[in-house]
Chains A and B, each alone.
Chain A
């Protein structure tokens, strides 16, 4: 099963990834290839250059820089930081799996459905306000949207329906271009915009297309005893604020790479961004 990662740098000259982010994407790519198939990276020129210098480009089965086109899309990527995922999705042959860089799948997955997401979210959370919350310029939300549906977390998504993908992506970019929050809004005020287009609209669009959305799991199971999925998620902020814990995490990842992919140890023991975590003496 084909999968794709997305890395959007907005071509910032000072772009860098933290060590724990490097290890997570390494495991994400390698474990997917081990259990499920090919995985490709969609990034921009700066992202590709960064990974080339880090000697990590060969982690993926192919690397595309089509995200360079996003500069002309007319959307605010500070609000829609995950917009690149949807842009990359528009470039994919189907079926495919969209997977976050900080998401690891530890087993083989088989999909006998048209759409699947890792889990649903509760629509009652404050980050999912009703339609009156959104300020949109020259754009109105359709009347036939079902606001009672629980949103879909998109850390891992299986897409098997072309009609759905076309409609999902087209409306998403119209919304993102039309979004016009108040100038004094930031942080949590803006979150509803991103999660609406990525998660809530996903569920609404599936219903409008007549496609059922399967959930691979739910939050209780994911935060419980399951052994299939890892999602770093909010730990990224925690690791940034706790360097010692981040370092231990990197060493744990290095240990796992040694166990699962011993043929790669020589390489990672040499690379500037990873070598210090492979000294096990």
Chain B
């Protein structure tokens, strides 16, 4: 900032806009100098708006937007970052106006799009909170709050005990609710909520989780390979991870929903060679994608296992959805001719590399014969 420049040298909004950047005006606003200047130059309404914005603890981005409007800042005077920041704030304000309903509810309200904003809203004692678009964790110990969802917002409840929202006077509206545990939920006062069951560890009755984890330990030393193979191939529908669908990751032209899995580390030994460096997606027509996103945004990933190359590994990955039934997950990776010699190579890197340094082979002159039947 040019220290020799004083705000009070100027007397019109145009002059201020030409001589100061938004970053230079912000501290004036926070120190009340800008409000004084506005009042002295007969811009009383604008002075009150800035004072109100400071008192309501608006963010820097929102203050900058207000100053842009007050001083008619030409967009070409803004940096690319400032333009992006202000555009985002404008869009957020539009969403807020679109979704926050006018009502007789005089409780303090807030419109939040991230968990951080939710925390700030709760700390400011908001009682009517609009959750927009994202995934949220709400404090079950903070009663008397109504959460209204918009843009397919979802709440993740990771409470192992019975959840009684009614007793805490927590009300949910228009939300997807993902329950990580199956111990029950009471939410009679809530409305238009979609309960998503994220508690399944395995589809079907057998094998049990205990049996699966026993198989994951590998073939027992005295166990015939055929027996281990059979045990491995009996694992069907094990919950190996979960994911949250984001609408921005839907590719309309490819009719494909990309997603990032969160893997369950119980299965890491079987997963590690299979999932590293891969992209995951499901092929869904736009209508199906919209339905799934609108009804079941958070999904468990299920796997069928198989036995290959002496190891337990993944055969298939899929979602088990209420909306569309079983949806196969596709694994994509660019494959070049240099990476593969014609096989899938899904189960390991290569074999026999240790032979290269095994100079003391005792059977160099032994040949291998294959005899036809």
Q: Does B1 contact A (CB under 8 A)?
A: no
The distance in angstroms between the C-alpha atoms of A80 and B333, with both chains bound, is: 16
Count of chain B residues near A, Cβ 8 A: 52
Inter-chain CB contacts under 8 Å: number: 181
Q: Does A171 contact B (CB under 8 A)?
A: no
The distance in angstroms between the C-alpha atoms of A101 and B347, with both chains bound, is: 20
The distance in angstroms between the C-alpha atoms of A219 and B336, with both chains bound, is: 23
Do B368 and A228 have beta carbons less than 8 Å apart? yes
Main secondary structure of the interface of B (DSSP, over half): loop
Q: Which of B352, B356, B367, B371 makes the CB contact (< 8 A) with A108? A: B367
The distance in angstroms between the C-alpha atoms of A116 and B372, with both chains bound, is: 10
The distance in angstroms between the C-alpha atoms of A18 and B316, with both chains bound, is: 34
Do B364 and A107 have beta carbons less than 8 Å apart? yes
Do A121 and B369 have beta carbons less than 8 Å apart? no
Do A184 and B341 have beta carbons less than 8 Å apart? no
The distance in angstroms between the C-alpha atoms of A10 and B373, with both chains bound, is: 41
Do B370 and A122 have beta carbons less than 8 Å apart? no
Do B356 and A233 have beta carbons less than 8 Å apart? no
Do A219 and B309 have beta carbons less than 8 Å apart? yes
The distance in angstroms between the C-alpha atoms of A69 and B249, with both chains bound, is: 43
Do A236 and B310 have beta carbons less than 8 Å apart? no
Q: Which residues on the A side are within 8 Å of B366 (C-beta)? A: 107-108
Q: Which of A190, A229, A252 makes the CB contact (< 8 A) with B357? A: A252
Taking the nearest CB of chain B, how far is it from the CB of A130, in angstroms? Answer: 13
Q: Which residues on the A side are within 8 Å of B353 (C-beta)? A: 230, 232, 235, 249
B 333-373 binary contact with A (CB < 8 Å = 1; else 0): 11111111111111111111101111101011111111111
Count of chain A residues near B, Cβ 8 A: 71
Do B315 and A126 have beta carbons less than 8 Å apart? yes
Within 8 A of B (CB), among A238-253: 238, 240, 249, 252-253
Please judge, given known A-B contacts A188-B333, A191-B335, whether A107 and B367 are in contact too, CB under 8 Å: yes
Please judge, given known A-B contacts A107-B367, A125-B315, whether A256 and B306 are in contact too, CB under 8 Å: no
Q: Which residues on the B side are within 8 Å of A140 (C-beta)? A: none
Within 8 A of A (CB), among B51-96: none
A 78-114 binary contact with B (CB < 8 Å = 1; else 0): 0001100100000000000000111110111111111
The distance in angstroms between the C-alpha atoms of A156 and B127, with both chains bound, is: 70
Closest A residue to B336 using CB positions: A81
Q: Does A205 contact B (CB under 8 A)?
A: no
The distance in angstroms between the C-alpha atoms of A127 and B335, with both chains bound, is: 13
Q: Which of B256, B331, B355, B357 makes the CB contact (< 8 A) with A184? A: B256
Taking the nearest CB of chain B, how far is it from the CB of A273, in angstroms? Answer: 16
Do B342 and A188 have beta carbons less than 8 Å apart? no
Do A110 and B346 have beta carbons less than 8 Å apart? no
Q: Which residues on the B side are within 8 Å of A227 (C-beta)? A: 352, 355, 358, 361, 363
Q: Which of A108, A109, A112, A198 makes the CB contact (< 8 A) with B372? A: A112
Q: Which residues on the A side are within 8 Å of B338 (C-beta)? A: 18, 21, 236-237, 240
Do A259 and B359 have beta carbons less than 8 Å apart? yes
Interface centre among B315, B349, B365 (most CB of A within 10 A): B349
Within 8 A of B (CB), among A50-71: none
Q: Does A231 contact B (CB under 8 A)?
A: yes
Q: Does A27 contact B (CB under 8 A)?
A: yes
10 closest cross-chain pairs (CB), A and B = A230-B352, A81-B337, A219-B309, A220-B310, A233-B350, A108-B367, A82-B342, A234-B345, A235-B350, A234-B349
Interface residues of B (CB under 8 A from A): 225, 253-254, 256, 306, 308-311, 315-316, 330-353, 355-359, 361, 363-373
Can you list 28 contacts pairing A with B, beta carbon distance less than 8 Å?
A: A101-B341, A108-B365, A109-B367, A110-B367, A110-B368, A121-B344, A125-B315, A186-B334, A187-B332, A187-B334, A187-B335, A188-B330, A188-B331, A188-B333, A219-B310, A228-B355, A229-B355, A230-B351, A230-B353, A232-B350, A234-B349, A236-B338, A236-B340, A240-B338, A240-B339, A255-B357, A256-B356, A256-B357
Given contacts A85-B342, A194-B342, A233-B349, 7 further A-B contacts (CB under 8 A): A112-B372, A121-B344, A188-B331, A230-B350, A232-B353, A234-B348, A235-B349
